[in-house]
Amino acid sequence: MGLLGCGNVGAALLKLIEENQVSILDRSGEELEVVSVAVRELDSVRPAWVRRELLTDDPMSIVQDPTIDVVVEVMGGIHPAKELIEASLRAKKSVVTANKALLADHYFELEELAEEVGKDIFFEAAVAGGIPLIRSLRVSLAGEQLSRVIGIVNGTTNFILTRMDEDGLSYDVALALARQLGYAEADPRADIEGVDAAAKAAILASIAFGRKVRFSDVSREGITKVTASDFEFARRHGFTIKLLALCERIPNNDGGAFDVRVFPALVPRTHPLGGVRDAFNAIFVEGEAVGELMFYGRGAGGAPTASAVLGDLMDVAHNLRFGTTERRIDRKDVVIASPDKLSSRFLIAVDVKDRPGVLAQVAQVFGDNGISIQSMEQIGYMSEARLIFLTHDSLEKDIAKTLGQLEELDAVRSLRQAMRVLGEEA
Amino acid sequence: MGLLGCGNVGAALLKLIEENQVSILDRSGEELEVVSVAVRELDSVRPAWVRRELLTDDPMSIVQDPTIDVVVEVMGGIHPAKELIEASLRAKKSVVTANKALLADHYFELEELAEEVGKDIFFEAAVAGGIPLIRSLRVSLAGEQLSRVIGIVNGTTNFILTRMDEDGLSYDVALALARQLGYAEADPRADIEGVDAAAKAAILASIAFGRKVRFSDVSREGITKVTASDFEFARRHGFTIKLLALCERIPNNDGGAFDVRVFPALVPRTHPLGGVRDAFNAIFVEGEAVGELMFYGRGAGGAPTASAVLGDLMDVAHNLRFGTTERRIDRKDVVIASPDKLSSRFLIAVDVKDRPGVLAQVAQVFGDNGISIQSMEQIGYMSEARLIFLTHDSLEKDIAKTLGQLEELDAVRSLRQAMRVLGEEA
């Protein structure tokens, strides 16, 4: 085995292999030998179990080494990871990768190349870290008609939202806390703007529905606009707020259209996703026969990710020994559903001037657009007031129209929030 | 494919195959042809998709049919299921089974026979129905050193306990309700006495730890002694009560001993298992590298079980095409930990005569046995009183001794309850 990259995940993998060599052999009959490890800086300080004599700063030497039959890529980034993986496959080596950014855009090319050369590309670790999700979707649930996959797949944002919920922190303070504790990076944009979650959503949708879903197919909204007062309202009504990655088959759509999105949403506390706290991940799966499933665990971190890579490695080793590969999916192009067809329940909050007739005016706009209200609440603030509406299931295009018209009302100071609500009405 | 048995699961499987033939082919490249279905009564009324011309009342005809390469056993019971599976393997057919009672006692023989003949025996559906647990443990987590698997694996008892918790029902009424709604069988003993859960615990422990664990290795206690007042106490202290199947590697034990048990326990409501309601199943897995994982879903029912069987079937079909098999585990004999070494927190409730000095007497017994109390509560009932103790982590043998001595105290009317508490102390 050759390893490309030796950061958190790579080092954790080497430790795991060293500590568990015996049980790996017992449980699989395979012996894993680490032949070479490519790093950027040969002289960086590394843990003791990263043996100096295995290191090289020439990743191509691994790709070209005829004694290596599996390449593990944990260096991250698109380039040169993509070129190295392609060269490895062409050199008839199977590949295990944890690289979600790469897979989100180049999954199908790499999958097709692997098929062409008769080797495997495995990537359990790329989505939801140590949670055995990808293999479950690909193999165990292969016979299922899946209708929906909806998950909390980004630990950083879930940590921030959990602290806002449980400790009443503002968004800024929760983000600062996440940075200090190492849950958020110095530049947290990929997490808080939903980029990381969208990459995972593209991969999940591709696997779950057997379609080609790319990063660019995923619409996304981050958590930067979620406020402490959104949480106050959510708490009072039995909700919490989560950043969700949604992959959905639109029912009754002849063409077989799909909706793949990332957005913050109100989630009922009684929903299994409502109790997923801090940096944990969870993925809720709905299938025609199997009903509701949920997978829960640590979505990031060196050791959990390395655990998933090791599982893949042992599976690849088994396939190599028998000269077989993972089964292939005849993958169709995806049709993304027109936003006009989508509907959801919504929470809408508007700050208005507190004077007679305002509520009637605002309510009129909802009515004019055919939006029906499930519950409403008014909170007074001196001469101002905030109106909070929870709608029944509504077409998103009608909601958009409503929001536009509300903003034009003289009595409306500002539109505070418009957020989807997960789950059917009780 | 030949099918042995056509009850709930068998009929659901035939429906699933018929409805999803196209997507099965798309997603796996395999075509599943149902050649023959063995039933007890040819003339029973069956759903339309169970084609009359496929039925036979001679299961051996399936085993002997050279055109059949996979046998699916969903007839249940030990005999003749065991003989039919053995004969199928000897006839070089791979086997998919959902038969937990059979596997709990004969898993290793069947596994060894499968290895001998070079075929597969798959059984994802035998534990936790449609939840992709077995393959996750066998393949995805193959590189993990698992320390603990703890689950709610019996839907009937979880339904009963949920109704007692949420509706304040007595045990008897909740059981009657479960029967009426079809969650409990006319003879519910296998469920309420923990027999079904113990069979699943044996299978789970075998897979998770690579050991040979048999049904007889599993100690068990059912839910028949759980009372409404246990739930009252549990609720007041932030717990609910669940029937747990526990498979644990005893830490710091040189011999590598294991504890495999089924028992009702107090579970903190904040624990992921605390929110698993009604007939749902959930399995909590702890590994050295991967940390905490949970799998959640429908543990029984025709369609979810059939979904798991279909996933296995497609995996077997893939292996048959490539002439390979699932990897084998070099399985060691299990050493069951001596109960003397086990410890837990306990809830202990005693009814006492309400007179001066009783509390001191009772407390003395705890102290004499080295049991330290975390919290205590006294509820008065006229001239009687109930004392409820929550202990710190205590050796089970010390608890047993304490209970024996308490029962002999003149002031103690009766020992009401002694129940384990899940989780470390906060």
Q: What is the pLDDT of residues B272-318, one digit of tens each?
A: 899 899 999 999 999 999 999 999 999 888 999 999 999 999 999 98
Asked whether A272 and A283 are in contact (CB, 8 A), the reply is no
Q: What is the mean pLDDT of residues A174-180?
A: 96
* pLDDT number for residue A357: 87
Q: What is the mean pLDDT of residues A307-334?
A: 88
What percent of chain B is predicted at pLDDT more than 70?
Answer: 97
Cis-peptide into B80, omega within 30 deg? yes
Q: What is the mean pLDDT of residues A354-369?
A: 91
Residue A253 has pLDDT above 70, yes or no: no
pLDDT per position as a tens digit, A75-91: 999 999 999 999 999 99
Residue B426 has pLDDT above 60, yes or no: no
* pLDDT number for residue A255: 60
Q: What is the mean pLDDT of residues A201-209?
A: 95
Per mean pLDDT, which of A331-345, B53-67, B349-363 is the most reliable? B53-67
Q: What is the mean pLDDT of residues B248-252?
A: 84
| Helix H or strand E segment including A20 | helix A8-28
Query: How sure is the predictor about B407, in pLDDT bands with cuts at 50, 70 and 90?
Result: very high
Mean pLDDT score across all residues of chain A: 92
* pLDDT number for residue B255: 60
**Between B295, B301, B330, which is nearest A295 by CB?**
B295
- Separation of alpha carbons A324 and B52, rounded Å: 38
Chain A residues in contact with B20 (beta carbon < 8 A): 143, 145
Tokens 């950083």 identify what position? A156
B291 burial type by CB count under 10 A (0-12 exposed, 13-18 middle, 19+ buried): middle
Query: What does each C-alpha distance from B19 to A84, A407, B12 come to in angstroms?
Result: 42, 49, 11
DSSP β-ladder status, B70-73 and B2-4: parallel
Asked whether A52 and A41 are in contact (CB, 8 A), the reply is no
Chain A residues in contact with B322 (beta carbon < 8 A): 322-324
Residues 348-407 of B with CB under 8 A from A: none
Q: What is the mean pLDDT of residues A236-250?
A: 94
Residue of chain B with shortest Cα separation from A313: B143
* pLDDT number for residue A219: 94
Asked whether A377 and A388 are in contact (CB, 8 A), the reply is yes
Amino acid identity at B153:
V
Contact across the interface for B311 and A140, Cβ inside 8 Å: yes
Domains, chain A, in order of start with CATH, read: 2-130+303-331 (3.40.50.720), 134-298 (3.30.360.10), 340-421 (3.30.70.260)
Q: A137, A139, A145, A150: which to substitute to probe chain B, counting the most B Cβ within 10 Å?
A: A139
Q: What is the separation, in whole angstroms, between the first and last Cα of chain A?
A: 53
- Separation of alpha carbons A182 and A162, rounded Å: 15
- Separation of alpha carbons B314 and B35, rounded Å: 16
Query: How sure is the predictor about B237, in pLDDT bands with cuts at 50, 70 and 90?
Result: confident
Asked whether B224 and B207 are in contact (CB, 8 A), the reply is no
Asked whether B412 and B406 are in contact (CB, 8 A), the reply is yes
Q: What is the mean pLDDT of residues B67-72?
A: 96
Residue A200 appears among annotated catalytic residues: yes
pLDDT per position as a tens digit, A26-50: 776 778 899 999 999 999 999 989 9
Residue A375 has pLDDT above 80, yes or no: yes
- Separation of alpha carbons B268 and B284, rounded Å: 14
Query: How sure is the predictor about B253, in pLDDT bands with cuts at 50, 70 and 90?
Result: low
Establish if A31 touches chain B: CB-CB under 8 angstroms.
no
Tokens 């949604």 identify what position? A246
Establish if A20 touches chain B: CB-CB under 8 angstroms.
yes
Contact across the interface for A314 and B139, Cβ inside 8 Å: yes
Q: What is the mean pLDDT of residues A282-308?
A: 94
Query: How sure is the predictor about A329, in pLDDT bands with cuts at 50, 70 and 90?
Result: confident
**Between A142, A145, A290, which is nearest B130 by CB?**
A290
Chain A residues in contact with B328 (beta carbon < 8 A): 29
ipTM for this prediction: 0.90
**CA distance to partner chain A, nearest, from residue B71 (Å):** 17
- Separation of alpha carbons B135 and B256, rounded Å: 24
Mean pLDDT score across all residues of chain B: 92
- Separation of alpha carbons B359 and B245, rounded Å: 34
**Between B27, B140, B307, which is nearest A135 by CB?**
B140
Query: How sure is the predictor about B254, in pLDDT bands with cuts at 50, 70 and 90?
Result: low
Residue B425 has pLDDT above 70, yes or no: no
Main-chain phi, psi angles of B386, to 5 degrees: -110, 130
What percent of chain A is predicted at pLDDT more than 70?
Answer: 97
Establish if B24 touches chain A: CB-CB under 8 angstroms.
yes
* pLDDT number for residue B24: 77
Strand partners, A220: A262
Query: How sure is the predictor about B31, in pLDDT bands with cuts at 50, 70 and 90?
Result: confident
DSSP A311-327: HHHHHHHHHHHHT--PP
**Between B131, B142, B272, which is nearest A27 by CB?**
B142
Establish if B328 touches chain A: CB-CB under 8 angstroms.
yes
